[in-house]
Amino acid sequence: MKLSGVLFFPVTPFDAGGALAEDVLAEHVRRGMEHGPGGVFAACGTGEFSALSEDEHARVVRVATEVVAGRAPVFAGAGGPIGAALKQARAAKDAGADGLLLMPPYLAQGPGHGFEAYVRAVAEVLPVVIYQRGSVVLEPDAVVRLAEIPGVIGLKDGVGDIDRMQRTVLAVRENHPDFQFFNGLPTAELTMPAYRGIGVHLYSSAVFAFAPEIALAYLNGDERLLTEFYAPLVRLRGKVPGYAVSLIKAGVRLRGLDVGGVRPPLVEVSEEHLAELQELIKVGLDRVAS
C-alpha cells in the first residue's frame, strides 16, 4: 500500500450535546475527498483519538470508509493499552479500514523487544504505521527491527529530530526500500523543506482539514505560503497547549461546517485567537487566489 500526496486527518464532529455527529463527519470527509487526498486517517490525533469511546471510534472509522468508498486508503488510529489497541484494530478491520496509525502505548514502558511485541500483535490485524512521539522515540536500529515485522509499513515522525530521522531513513531503506516515512509534526508544512532534504516527502496536513486549497497550493510549490500563512499559524498554535487540535476544529467551523467543540482536557479557541485564525485563513486563501 503506497501513500502519496497530502494525507487528510479529519476532525471528529460533536453535536450541541457533545455526542458524535456522524452526518457532519460524513460531510466533512466528503468535502475533503473533493480535493483528492492521498490517504484519510480517521479517529487519529486531530480526530481526538484519546477522547473517543471504543464505540465512537468504531463508528468514526466506519463513516470514513463508507464515504471514501475505496478512492483512497483509510487508516484508523489505534493505541494505548494492548487490549484497547487490539479492539480498535479489529473494529477498524471490520469497518473496512486499510491500515492503522499506531499511537504510543499509554504510561507503561518496557524495553525495545517489549514494544516490538506490542507492534507485532497489532500488525497481525491490519498494516501498521508507527507513530513516533511522546514515549516512543526510536533509534535507527530499532526501526530496522520493526520494519522486519510483517505488516509494519511505515513510520510517522512526531519528534522532529532531523539527524535521527536521516540515520533512520538510510538504515531502513537499505533493505526495505518500500518502507514509508512521513512528517507528522503539527503544521508539518513548515518543516517539509527539511524533511524533503532527507528523502521524506509524505506529510500529514492539519491545514487540509479546514483549508485544502491552501494545503494543495503549498504542495504544488507556492513557498510564499510558508511566510504568509504557515509561520503565523505555528505561532498562534503555540500560544495554548492543545491548540494543535482546537485550532483545526475552529478552522473547519470558520469554513462553514459546524463540527462542534473539543472534549476535555482540550479547550476552545479564545475569541481573540479565533479572530487571528480567521484573518490567517483569509490571507492564505487570498494568496492562493492571486
Q: Which residues belong to the active site?
A: 131, 156
Tell how far CA 161 is from the center of its chain: 18
**Residue 204 and residue 26: Cα distance in Å, rounded?**
20
The number of residues in the chain equals 290
Residue pair 39/65 in contact by the 8 Å Cβ criterion: no
The β-bridge partners of 155 are 130, 181
122, containing H or E segment: helix 112-123
Q: Is the peptide bond before 150 cis (omega within 30 degrees of 0)?
A: no
CA distance 45 to 24: 18
* Contact of 202 with 170, CB cutoff 8 Å: no
